[in-house]
Amino acid sequence: MPSAAPRFCECGRYTVPAGQQCPCAKRRKAARGSAWARGYDSDWQAARAAHLATHPACVDCGEPATLVDHIVSIRKAPHLRLDPTNFASMCASCHGRKTTRVDGGFGR
Ligand SMILES: [Zn+2]
């Protein structure tokens, strides 16, 4: 059985199993502009890819990272959106935990 690594969707939110379409593809087509308008544009995609290339491990658990988290939310610090010092490579499960923690009422 081929074991191609899952790729990460350009939307920055989903890991896509090899050979499959991102679950967000339809939604993105329907609402093009929403995620991108919030700042996840091509500049972010490039910065994110560069960060993952140089910081391939999750900062929390050391597993291979699949996404880049903003240490300080870009809602709170939009000027740090493309600042590498505000980037943290994370795996999906650690990021999920962080998102729950941070967005769960204890903003930082
Ligand atoms: Zn992790």
CA dihedral angle for residue 41, residue 46, residue 48, residue 53, rounded to 10 degrees: 160
pLDDT in tens, 46-86: 999 999 999 999 999 999 999 999 999 888 999 999 999 99
Residue 67 contacts by C-beta under 8 Å, 6 or more apart in sequence? 8, 12, 48, 52, 89, 90, 91, 92, 95
Ion ligand 1 neighbours (CB, 5 A) are 58, 60-61, 63, 91, 94
User: What's the CA-to-centroid distance between 104 and ligand 1, angstroms?
Assistant: 19
The domain limits of the chain are: 7-103
Residue type, 54: T
Q: What integer pLDDT is reported at residue 48 of this predicted model?
A: 94
